[in-house]
Amino acid sequence: MKRDLSLYLVTDPKLCGERGVVATVEAAVRGGVSAVQLRDKRASARELAQLAIALLGVLKETGIPLLINDRFDVALAVGADGVHLGQSDLAAKAVRSLVGANFMIGLTVSRAEEIAAVAALPIGTVDYLGVGPVFLTSTKANALDPLGLDAVAQLCRSTDLPCIGIGGITLENAPSAWSTGLDGLAVVSAICAAADPETAAATLRGSRP
């Protein structure tokens, strides 16, 4: 099933603050978020599973997929829709062999060589690519230097897989990010740190040409 990944929320418990992740996601969904990735590097597997179950309750019957960052084991345990992998996580091919065809796998890429490696995998191994960082970002430790718009556009042209831009995307620069040919925008602080996540999501949704 093809999913709408055009406005992809990546959660950050610190940025969500006292409002919390669940309430932030609820508001963002009202504003038009089309996919949610649960990311919490500090949570234990049990804590991550508990939060994932709560988010699945929020997303039930909306058609909006929930993906878990890094932890495909947690995703499988709670019945999430998929996992998002980084370059240092378990290889996508190995994960695919364990999860079956109906489980979404996203993979972060930042270089042409990484996209070429994905192209060499069996068709269907990876469902979409997270391309970035597009701009300078402070929400991910040890983030790479920003790619810039020209490099992002070139990476998008080099693959047939959906490309979701991530890294430093804000309400202000979202239109320029769209100009690269991205299929979707992944945002963290633009929604999680917003005073009104619903309005922020709606504004980002409306930024697409």
Q: How confident is the model at residue 209 (pLDDT cuts 50, 70, 90)?
A: confident
Q: What is the pLDDT of residue 136?
A: 86
Chain centroid, CA 46 distance in Å: 21
Q: What is the pLDDT of residue 137?
A: 79
Give Cβ neighbours of residue 154 (< 8 Å, ≥ 6 apart).
Answer: 112
pLDDT at position 132 over 90: yes
Q: What is the pTM of this model?
A: 0.96
Average pLDDT over residues 34-55: 97
Q: Residue 1 above 70 pLDDT?
A: no
Give the whole-angstrom CA distance, residue 133 versus residue 93.
24
Residue 201's closest CA among 107, 193, 80?
A: 193
- Residue 164's alpha-carbon distances to 91, 115, 152, 155, in angstroms, are 19, 13, 10, 11
**pLDDT by residue (tens digit) across 67-111?**
999 999 999 999 999 999 999 999 999 999 999 999 999 999 999
pLDDT at 2: 77
Residue 33's CB is within 10 A of a number of other CB atoms, namely: 28
Phi then psi for residue 163, to 5 deg, are -115, 125
The DSSP element (H or E) to which 166 belongs, if any, is: strand 163-166
Beta bridge partners of 9: 36, 187
Nearest by Cα to 187 from 18, 178, 179 = 178
> Which residue has 């504004």 as its token pair?
203
Mean of all residue pLDDT scores within the chain: 96
Q: In this model, does residue 143 exceed pLDDT 80? A: no
Burial class, 18, CB count within 10 angstroms (exposed 0-12 / middle 13-18 / buried 19+) = exposed
Q: Are the beta carbons of 203 and 175 closer than 8 angstroms?
A: no
Gap between the Cα atoms of 55 and 58, Å rounded: 5
Query: Do 161 and 129 meet the contact criterion of CB atoms below 8 Å apart?
Result: yes
141 pLDDT tier (thresholds 50, 70, 90): low
